[in-house]
Amino acid sequence: MRMEKRDETQKSITAVESTTRSNNSRVDKLQQLVHKDSTDGWEKSWEQGVTPWDLGEPTPIILHLHQTGALPKGRALVPGCGTGYDVVAIACPERHVVGLDISDIAIKKAVEVRAVGQKILASIRLEIS
């Protein structure tokens, strides 16, 4: 049983590392956008689809922690929630989750993700910071 959990954790870590390596050029582009225009760089990164952190699914380690019961119940905050996959993934009746993001585009995408996830989940709240 412990070996299976270790294997699952290693697979999650490997997936994140692989994604990170393949996104180096996207990270460079993101840095250019954010440093060039610090007041609107994040919004521009979403406009141009330069979002190397957005896996299109929950972060593997966050999902793993939730599925194994390692995340405490109660309240949770996901700052910089982007499309909100992590917010939707960890929300449950025993955990109230709030996602915050600075980008209006990201929040609009998160609302779409929430709409799909809400068929399964009772209460998810997304806010703009």
What distances in angstroms separate CA 93 from CA 51, 66, 69, 78, 123, one per listed residue? 30, 13, 14, 17, 7
* % of the chain beyond a pLDDT of 70: 61
Tell me the average pLDDT of the chain: 76
| Token pair of 126 as six digits | 């997304």
Contacts of 67 (CB under 8 A, 6+ apart): none
Domains of the chain: 2-128 (3.40.50.150)
**pLDDT average, residue stretch 5-25:** 62
Q: Among 26-35, 107-116, 120-129, whose mean pLDDT is lowest? A: 120-129
Burial class (CB in 10 A: 0-12, 13-18, 19+), 78: buried
Q: Which helix (H) or strand (E) holds 76?
A: strand 74-79
pLDDT at 109 over 90: no
Per-residue pLDDT at 21: 53
The pLDDT tens digits of the residues spanning 47-91 come to 888 888 888 889 999 999 999 999 999 999 999 999 888 988 898
Cα angle value 57/49/108 (rounded, 5°):
65
Task: Estimate the crossing angle of helix 60-67 against helix 2-22, to 10 degrees.
Answer: 160
Q: Which helix (H) or strand (E) holds 18?
A: helix 2-22
